[in-house]
Amino acid sequence: MKLVVIGENIEDNSRFVEDSNCQETLARTISYFEGLGYALPWVGYYALIGDEVIGTCAFKGGPINGKVEIAYVTFDQYRGKGYGTEMCRDLVRIGQDHNAAIQISARTLREKGHSTRILEKNGFSIKDEIIDLDGAPVWEWIYNGNS
């Protein structure tokens, strides 16, 4: 699996525009980064196996106060094959390669599930229960290493 940077504008993403798995996520990702700013490596990525796009992952903006949040999703037909775990691991590596002092976080629903297992496999642990931007309580996970 390899991660490919999602470009800043639709014109920068001709490779993904016609892919049915990318149409919704591409527009949403570009819109998201229009509001936050676009600065490598703190952007979105598509995960590919060969030429097949199997998921997407991102930093949810650049670091703020020494902390950056990640997110990832595997497209339905590719779930259960370990790709989410790989995307999470690769985002951690990218973040640490850029700045090892950055604290890497993620948020999940307050219940055990696929995403919590992915985070645990990658060396994250629950730090706290916080209120997400939409007002819902979530678990905040922090990368502790040992992945």
Q: Which residues of the chain have pLDDT under 70?
A: 146-147
| Residues 57-74: tens digit of each pLDDT | 999 999 999 999 999 999
- Contacts of 109-113 with CB under 8 Å at 24 or more apart are 109/138, 109/139, 110/137, 110/138, 110/139
| Residues 115-139: tens digit of each pLDDT | 999 999 999 999 999 998 889 999 9
pLDDT reported for residue 111: 95
Q: Please state, in angstroms and rounded to a whole number, the distance separating the CA atoms of residues 48 and 51.
A: 6
Residue 145 region by backbone torsions, left for phi larger than 0, else alpha for psi between -120 and 50, else beta: left
